[in-house]
Amino acid sequence: MSRKIAFLFITFVIAVIIATGCTQTSQAPDDRQPAMATLPVTITIPFGPIPVESTNGINIAYELEFAGMENLSFVPETVEVLNADTGTVLYSPNVSVLARTAYPASVPPPTAAELQNGTVKLQDPRISIWFVVSPGTVPDRLTHRVTFNRTAGGLTPLVVTGGNVTVRKDLSPVVIGSPVKGPGWAIMETTSPTVHHVTTQITMANVTKVPQRYAQDYILLDTVTGLPFSGNETIARDYYGFGQNLYAVGNGTVVYVRDGVKDIEITTQKPPVTVDSALGNGVVIDLGNKKYACYGHMVNGSVRVKVGDTVTEGQVIGLMGNTGNSDAPHLHFQVITDNPSVLGGEGYPIVYRSFNVTGRFDEENITGISFNKSILQENRLMENDVVVSFP
């Protein structure tokens, strides 16, 4: 399989800003040192980070949003995340990561209608942050130091500090069962600042959100060949995942159902994607406490529940397919908070009750590499590009 399969899904979201930042000022610039921020530039954390454990450690993910940069070039040179209590630098993305996770304000800017109705255009620039710390070392508070390159204007660098935020240790990830069963599941687009689930910044109702921040894409691999299909790569029904059962990850109530979106039978013939069709056929389950499990891209006609149904963990709710904004049969799964609509929630962290890591895979070619033994994981989020099995 020579080409990379990119599984894309775009949602629109509404939520409330819960943490704000500040700006510090210093002396005027000179030729010997970077200029500290003397302009009214502020750093805001729209959704405070909630620690979530995976195999490699404790993940801390959130976004920096900048205001007051209308007359400044958004060229971040370095970003430093600091422990606000000790001043220790906890994380600084390298040049490659920063280039993929810094998003300037759009030119031309989004219109009022776009900001209200939904757009990928940004009114204010943003930077995605995702880093890992060891268990037991999660800081209580974070602050930031961002250096902007102003060489193009013949000026010294500008340093902006702030974005003070409390790490939300008072909140916990949602503990869930598995949306699929058995071995051979490749997990994609998670636990990384550069995957499209994290980098998709969407504005709706004048608020920018990241509904897919903690999402995963599931594709089924043959445990012998490591391939996701048998036969023709472009025929959806030749993929091992097509038609696989999808299960409720917890007890809850169905609050959204979409069925009737046509299957994309030939993977190279995906129709143009609209806001209405992006999810394809899908289900949203209210898990309680304003947390909602979202499933996307199901087989046309396969949804087995309706709005108002009560479901139990492990109940089949439909079949894995290739509908909506999907390049090959897979499941898009995420949990959102605050709003039951797929188009209205903020991405919320999850941990899976139990799974085994059985291998890693090459995302470029979707080829599995088996381990000699399974590694049991409990109450953790899986890492990107692993192969897992579920009970």
Residue showing tokens 């500290």: 36
Determine the Cα–Cα distance for residues 104 and 115; give it in Å rounded to an integer: 16
Domains delineated in the chain: 35-166 (2.60.40), 174-390 (2.70.70.10)
Is the pTM here over 0.75, yes or no?
yes
Determine the Cα–Cα distance for residues 96 and 202; give it in Å rounded to an integer: 23
pLDDT for res 17: 24
Determine the Cα–Cα distance for residues 265 and 182; give it in Å rounded to an integer: 25
User: What are the Cα distances from residue 272, in Å, to 204, 264, 268, 325?
Assistant: 21, 11, 12, 8
pLDDT for res 36: 54
pLDDT for res 40: 84
Determine the Cα–Cα distance for residues 13 and 215; give it in Å rounded to an integer: 14
pLDDT averaged per 10 residues in sequence order, the chain, 391 residues: 43 28 32 53 96 97 95 94 98 98 95 88 96 97 97 92 98 98 96 94 86 96 92 96 98 97 96 85 97 98 98 98 97 93 86 96 77 90 96 93
Instruction: Report, in angstroms and rounded to the nearest whole number, the Rg of the chain calculated over CA atoms.
Output: 22
Terminal C-alpha separation, the chain = 29
